[in-house]
Amino acid sequence: MAEPLFKGVLPALVTPFRDGAVDETAFVALVERQIAGGVHGLVPVGTTGESATLTHDEHRRVVELCVKTTAGRVPVIAGCGSNATAEAIELARHAKRVGADAALVVTPYYNRPSQEGLYAHYAAINEAVQIPVLVYNVPGRTSIDIANDTLARLSKLPNIVGIKDATSDMTRPSIQRLTCGEDWVMLSGDDATALGYMAHGGHGSISVTVNVAPEQVAQFHNDALSGQWPGALYAQDRLIRLHRALFSDASPAPTKFALAHLGLCSEECRLPITPASEASRAEVLAGMRDAGLV
């Protein structure tokens, strides 16, 4: 079987703010911490990076900063999603220009396109930019679900290389293994079910929890990828409360609270995301204790 283009754990990086602006010093330090913790790649300006409330200039700057800081040590998959195809193409072109290794492109939100519209969206990006593209399927946020049949069609296009799957549907990787070919990259977009996803043939995950616990989550993925399932299950048990806690309030507020508790950045988010509630903070701290972080 061919080695996947991307595998293991890739953090969906937070974008730290201070006094309303991107805190570039903190961002660089977070990238270095992730690489030191053993992650297999980096994903700036996705949902967890608050891409929806970054300006275009901030978005581009964060991608550039991630690529520059990483300096080729691990792959960088830049968030390039938009519900406007032309804007997604422009962001993907920028990612390619500054040296990102791939683009992560969410299914168009709000518009609710048909399956044919979804195919045409990704086909246009495939045609316009020579960069590997991962489809990001997260129906809970976008109100649209890209079907396995559509993914099978997209997998035939040279630049559409895989998926970030946040559906928590464990049957999908098995079906896609059969319909999309052995080169199709399959990354989970849900920490809590990543163990099951990899057991069904997935290659890793784009993770929120790894922002907080890089060593623990990286080791979990190394165990799963090498078939050391008892070790992976032990790590799952230690991490599951943290996985859940980081979504106990609007993301990424709980994650930023955890990072602030560790002294790594401010917990500041952009409106309409507000700071984590007291109940959420208590859950996060309990999860961090389970994971051995506090």
Going by the DSSP 8-state scheme, the letter that residue 12 receives in this structure is B
Catalytic: 122?
no
pLDDT tens sequence across 134-170? 999 999 999 999 999 999 999 999 999 999 999 999 9
Q: Quick check: 247 pLDDT over 70? A: yes
Catalytic: 136?
yes
| Phi, psi at 24, each rounded to 5° | -65, -35
Q: Quick check: 23 pLDDT over 80? A: yes
At 3, the pLDDT band (50, 70, 90 cuts) reads: confident
pLDDT-above-90 percentage for the chain: 98
Q: Which residue has the tokens 């500041």?
A: 268
Span 44-59, mean pLDDT? 97
d(CA 108, CA 212): 29
The domains of the chain, with CATH numbers, are 8-228 (3.20.20.70)
Nearest to 131 by CA among 164, 88, 170: 88
Residue of 7, 119, 122, 136 with catalytic role: 136
Q: Which pLDDT belongs to residue 1?
A: 60
pLDDT tens sequence across 190-225? 999 999 999 999 999 999 999 999 999 999 999 999
Residue 91: both structure tokens together: 């962001």
Strands (E), the chain: 8-11, 17-18, 21-22, 77-79, 102-106, 133-137, 160-165, 185-188, 204-207
Question: pTM for the complete prediction?
Answer: 0.97
Residue of 7, 96, 164, 256 with catalytic role: 164
What size, in residues, is the chain? 294
